[in-house]
Structure 1
Amino acid sequence: MKDFNRLKEECLREIADCGIEIGQVKSWTINSRAMSRWGQCRKEVDGTFSIQISDRLLEDDRITEKACKETIIHEILHTCKGCMTHQGKWKTYADMMNLRYGYNIKRITRGEEKGVENYKPKQMAVKYIMTCGGCGATIYRKRSSKFTRNYRNYSCTRCGAVAWSRKTVK
């Protein structure tokens, strides 16, 4: 398993060396539940940020430390002012890091690009399958929510019909 704290500190130092000012990160979490993402940056109500990194990056020996750092830096760059999207300043900063350190920081990275051949994200355990009676659109949910409990009150965004049916998978 890779040393997350060491990698995080290296990333913070490299970003500072490029003269990029980051926002305040309130919490760092290793996420073992994420199904299809490598990381996530969330802006909190108080203006600080919470960053989650997938445990798969740290535990899979096929994924290099450089690939881990690319994801960590990707998420840290979202804390910069005006950088919550993958455009404008965020893209400029990502390009700066790529040029200076030889990274491949971009919007989306597939498993193969992380060094994992034939990589498949964790499969989601679906519990609810919602089907629109109007157009046949299908929505999958793994947890109970307002929508799965009160589906008869929701209209379809595709056709506007209020005709959902629900199937519960055991």
Structure 2
Amino acid sequence: MSYETDCLMAELEENLRELGIPLSRNIVPQVRINTRAKRRLGCCYYQDGVYAVEVSAALLEQPERLRQTLVHELLHTCPGCRNHGKRWKSHAAQVNEAFGYSIERTVQLEDDESGPLRKETVKYVLECQSCGIRISRTRMSKAVKSPWQYRCKCGGKLKRIQ
């Protein structure tokens, strides 16, 4: 699948350049496939003046989402577009208009038929001793380990109840 993904990225690069999108000339032509990515669909790395694009293995069975994720990451190679600022959004809007994509800063996976990349379950619950608000956490953190060192927005002390 890597060869096909690399060819797809080359095709998308060419399409974006024809559209006038100022992509970097220093993009690694091979797409990295991340089999461990659970929270993101893609990533654009910049190191030593070279950009590399990585996608989640979960996208390999979703051709349209793969295309849009690759375009999303390629847009990060444009000057001033390493974040999702005005310039990146402008290029994304231009691509969406030209190709009928729906490239956004983030995507919602919950309502998709393929489901989220990973279902997170609540493992820890903190409760404010003043206002009673409950704060759910899926992973161990400093606040979960030592809730007495942290405060609620209201200023109340936190206590771990689960």
Does TM, normalized by the shorter one, top 0.5? yes
Deviations 1:5-61 (A, max 9, x none): 2222222332333331338567844253424x43344666x67656442222113xx
Tell me the matched-pair count: 156
SS at match of 2:148: helix
Shift of the 88–67 alpha-carbon distance from structure 1 to 2, 3 Å rule, reads same
Q: Contact 1:66–1:103 at 8 Å: present in 2 too? A: no
Gaps of 5+ in 2: none
Deviation at 1:99, TM superposition (A): 3.2
2:77 corresponds to:
79
1:152 and 2:156 correspond: no
2:42 corresponds to:
39
Give the 5 Å matches for 1:125-144: 125-135=121-131, 136-142=133-139, 144=140
2:34 corresponds to:
30
| Whole-Å separation in 2 of the counterparts to 1:22 and 1:134 | 53
Which AA in structure 1 matches 2:154? Answer: C
Q: Contact 2:125–2:134 at 8 Å: present in 1 too? A: no
- Aligned residues: CA RMSD: 3.3
Gaps of 5+ in 1: none
1:11 and 2:12 correspond: yes
TM-score by length of 1: 0.68
Q: Contact 1:24–1:49 at 8 Å: present in 2 too? A: yes
Partner of residue 124 from structure 1, selected from 108, 115, 120: 120
Deviations 1:52-104 (A, max 9, x none): 42222113xxx3x2331111111221232322443421122112222333322
TM-score by length of 2: 0.70
| Whole-Å separation in 2 of the counterparts to 1:43 and 1:152 | 40
Greater relative contact order, per chain length (Cα 8 Å cut-off, separation 6+): 1
Shift of the 95–131 alpha-carbon distance from structure 1 to 2, 3 Å rule, reads same
1:162 corresponds to:
157
Deviation at 1:123, TM superposition (A): 0.7
Percent same amino acid at aligned positions? 29
Which AA in structure 2 matches 1:78? Answer: H
